[in-house]
Chains A and B, each alone.
Chain A
Amino acid sequence: MNFYGIRAIYHFEMARTFRTLAESVAAPVLTTSLYFIVFGKAIGSRMGDIDSISYGAFIIPGLVMLSLLNESISNASFGIYMPKWAGTIYELLSAPVSWIEVLLGYVGAAATKSVMLGLLILGTARFFVPYEIAHPVWMIGFLLLTAVTFSLFGFIIGLWADSFQKLQVIPMLIVTPLTFLGGAFYSINMLPPLWQKISLFNPVVYLVSGFRWSFYGIADVNLAVSIGMTLGFLLVCLTFVWWVFRSGYKIRR
């Protein structure tokens, strides 16, 4: 195992975050704060409780998950796309590092950044809404699992993309709509039966539901199913990345 190689990639990526602290941290925190003000305070004050939880508190797990997904994808996709774009990928390809080491470096850094951001948003939420975390260990577990899984997904997008436009297209056209329709702002039990069934095809529903359970002990879907679906997606992403490195698709001619 090339530990120095993993550490070099990890440090390199983390240094990029701290160099662009305003874009990396301030912007998502500000955006989430606006969500809390608009949905939590302004609109939320006119909404009734959901499962005995105030609307402001109810949307916290969903909002954290929204940022976590976007940040994980954008951090990891940008991390691997930049060397491709700048041409410095030659160094990665000619280095004595395996695909798993490359993943540990890039995905590890992207997941670290998004977990840090998720915790920061949770801290920010305290300023707007009082909330409790019923299962803190599970909460951290979900946070880590989701961050790693979607960083891996972002890494795949970064490998696939050959332009900055393509880098944005999947997060904008697929991930963001799925997140908004994934129960971040509502319980899927509030939907008509047909839409409840359709929602079950949305993977984000399982993430938000599991994460919300760790806060309030309530879930739209069974906890085991949430964990299973997330792990399943993780496995699919891992298999795809393994195939990419083995075949050289989009990276090694």
Chain B
Amino acid sequence: MHIPPSVTANADSAAPIISVRGVNKTYAGGFQALKNINLDIRRGEIFALLGPNGAGKTTLISIICGIVKASAGGIIADGHDIGRDYRAARSAIGLVPQELHTDAFESVWATVTFSRGLFGKPPNPAYLEKLLRDLSLWDKRGEKILALSGGMKRRVLIAKALSHEPTILFLDEPSAGVDVELRHDMWRMVRELRAQGTTIILTTHYIEEAEDMADRIGVISKGELIVVEDKAVLMRKLGKKQLTLILRQPLTELPTELSAWALAISDDGHSLVYSFDTQKEETGIAELLRALSAHGIEFKDLRSSESSLEDIFVSLVHQPKESQA
């Protein structure tokens, strides 16, 4: 897929491609959707914005794209203020919305041509043909969107968003309601776009996808950005390991001498789960095993596991603010 490099002549490649400063949004009904959001998106990265339903992800994306007005704060996109210099800022952005909003009675070719023109680009049938071929839409170019499946409509929205060759691509819940094949195709395409220099910001409910795809993760909850971190660092910092010991004899309660360890007995009493911090030098496993032996608690098997991004996400959005990283 041909996408022009995102580093433009007048843009500093070290500067963030999107800079959000002090953005607040309170809707007419009084609901505060965003609270003092500050966020930098790096040029050329895949940034995953995670958060529960109603957290403010779509509102933030909509403000950056110009669909929703911020109540306060400022945003720079590709070196341009989205308010004062909206033409240049919006020209750099492509948006694939969450909902399948399409011109039902238009053909695929007509709607993609429309999008390119709307964003101020001269006609380029060769580029659009390649785009549609890459998205497996070329054979459907003459069909009305109404007649396409949900997955194909999602591809059309992606084609529309890429029709003007943006350097920033927003994907708002792109995997919602699509089958496995399309999801894999889409993530392959996202990787290709990133390789060509496009910055990609996505929101998703499929946290394993963020874990697989993203360079950095932002977690938003109740309108507040509670963490922004490199994915690897986030998982290292907030990830926990667990050691599960399968006992020979079930336990009903732990000896008080073992209360120093973060141990939990399973409901059936047949296993002990020890949680430890991967960041600490000493995990305490050796001491624990010795203490268990000293108290006559024998085990027949053991296994260890590591927190997934989903575990981290759940703990982040549910723990009190003051205890968040």
Contact = CB atoms under 8 A, between A and B. Distances in A.
B67 A90 contact: yes
B104 A86 contact: yes
Given A5-B120, A86-B103, A94 B114 contact: no
Contacts of B66: 93-94
A253 interface: yes
A253 B99 contact: no
A129 B101 CA distance: 48
B205 interface: no
B16 interface: no
Interface residues of B, number: 36
Contacts of A16: 105
B199 interface: no
A97 B88 CA distance: 10
B90 A94 contact: yes
A134 interface: no
A68 B60 CA distance: 43
A135 interface: no
B117 interface: yes
A92 B90 CA distance: 11
A96 B88 contact: yes
A15 B109 CA distance: 13
B118 A97 contact: yes
A166 interface: no
A12 B114 contact: yes
Interface in A73-119: 86-88, 90-98
Nearest to A6: B117
A19 interface: yes
A5 B114 CA distance: 8
A189 interface: no
Contact of B87 (A2, A8, A87, A248): A2
Contacts of A167: none
Contacts of B95: 90-91, 94
A41 interface: no
B117 A4 contact: yes
B67 A93 contact: yes
B120 A90 contact: no
Contacts of A197: none
B110 interface: yes
A94 B93 contact: yes
Interface string B69-98: 100000000000000001111110101010
Interface string A1-32: 01011011101100110010000000000000
B115 interface: yes
Contacts of B67: 90, 93-94, 252-253
A96 B91 contact: yes
B117 to A, nearest CB: 3
Contacts of A88: 101-103
Contact of B120 (A4, A12, A15, A86): A4
A171 B315 CA distance: 56
B206 interface: no
Nearest to A102: B118
B8 to A, nearest CB: 15
Contacts of A4: 116-122
A204 to B, nearest CB: 33
A93 B93 CA distance: 12
B160 interface: yes
B84 to A, nearest CB: 13
Nearest to A105: B118
A81 to B, nearest CB: 13
Contacts of B68: 252-253
B117 A87 contact: no
Interface string B20-31: 000000011000
Contact of B90 (A7, A90, A95): A95
Shortest Cβ-Cβ A-B pairs, 6 listed: A8-B117, A87-B101, A96-B87, A94-B65, A96-B90, A2-B120
8 contacts: A4-B119, A4-B122, A5-B117, A5-B118, A7-B117, A11-B117, A91-B95, A95-B118
Given A8-B117, A96-B88, 10 more contacts: A4-B122, A12-B114, A86-B104, A90-B97, A91-B95, A92-B118, A93-B65, A95-B120, A252-B67, A253-B68
Interface of B: 27-28, 62, 65-69, 86-91, 93, 95, 97, 99, 101-106, 110, 113-122, 160
Interface of A: 2, 4-5, 7-9, 11-12, 15-16, 19, 86-88, 90-98, 248, 252-253
